[in-house]
Chain A
Amino acid sequence: MTDCDLPLLNDDERARYEWQLWTPEFGEEGQRKLKAATVLVSRVGGVGGTVAYYLAAAGVGNIVLAHAGNVKPSDLNRQLLMTTDWLGKPRVESAVRRLNELNPHVNIVPVAENMSDQNADKLIREVDVVVDAAPLFCERFAMNQAAVDHRKPLIEAAMFDFEAQLTTIIPGKTPCVKCLWPENPPEWKREFPVFGPVSGTVAAMAAVEVIKLLTGIGDLMTNRMLRIDLRTMKFRELPIAKNPACSVCGSILEN
């Protein structure tokens, strides 16, 4: 998209984003790039919901939310887009309502489904960036396959207990999910210990990666993985590499 194709900002938007517009390498053009973008976030729990909240606040123009099911009491310690008055009602509706309250200038597209091999291709083909915050590897694998097929960047955010990890996947240039975890880990369970600020920490970092990806600012977390332990406040940056034998991205040539 060339500069003149980017959508213009109105005065309300200039006022709302004033403080981030002060970032020298961002400016009005950066804001217009965010406004033009479409980002898919799956799911919108402790990690994904917080990513979506920051992206909406920052003015990412179109945010697609994929999450099935209704709000449960046990969601409320970390899923900041869910509220007590929405218990028993669809999660994705609660998320849309909260994001619209925060920023009426952004377009929120709810999909009341979790990601799967059935819907990933159709949903990912239409977006610019995917944020993977799904609690099951089968959902992560489905997003990874479609992201690689359509050459879409995929931000991988995950946590367990006081630990979290983050990496940014650019198909063909970095390892993909299957390079790192070639099969469904037998021991992983969907229920995991979590405090909201731990999922929120990695979510905030993932949202920064999206903003950097869309605007070209800074250096992405590519070909490296951040592994953080908030119990000890130790952060490790670990180099990671493509697996040439990867079943998903092994045959893609770097360009």
Chain B
Amino acid sequence: MIEVTLRFDAQFRRVTNSDERLLELPENCSLLEALRHSAENYAEAFSKRLFTSAQAVQPTILVFVNENMVNSQEADQYRLKPGDEVSLYTPIAGG
């Protein structure tokens, strides 16, 4: 198993009631698998915000692993390593 930290921004905090979560994942787990796994811990509103109806990552969510932006459409090919930090940023436009 590997441990990966998942970090939330303010809009995600509203549906998870937490700033971050430590995920225990199988070795060689993909980013998409990790996100789907994390969704099991939260209410439906979390999945609705993060995934499309086809269970892909919403294209308007910015996903970073450590300092690397990962194209949300390639989350199924991105392999996580022990200690990785995944940050999810929802689109914001407050002016």
Interface, chain A (partner B; CB < 8 A): 43, 45-48, 133-137, 140, 157-165, 180-188, 192, 194, 199, 225, 227, 229, 231, 236, 238-241, 243
Contact = CB atoms under 8 A, between A and B. Distances in A.
Contacts of B48: 187
B93 A134 contact: yes
Interface residues of B, number: 22
B29 interface: no
A240 B69 contact: yes
Nearest to B60: A185
A134 B91 CA distance: 13
A133 B94 CA distance: 7
Contacts of B67: 238-239
B90 A194 contact: no
B94 A159 contact: yes
A169 to B, nearest CB: 15
Contacts of B87: 236
A180 B58 CA distance: 12
A140 to B, nearest CB: 6
Given A163-B9, A180-B62, A183-B59, A238 B95 contact: no
Given A162-B10, A182-B59, A187-B49, A239 B93 contact: no
Contacts of A137: 91, 93
B11 interface: yes
Contacts of B10: 160-163, 229, 231
A46 B92 contact: no
Given A136-B93, A183-B60, 9 more contacts: A45-B95, A135-B93, A135-B94, A159-B95, A181-B91, A192-B92, A192-B94, A239-B68, A243-B71
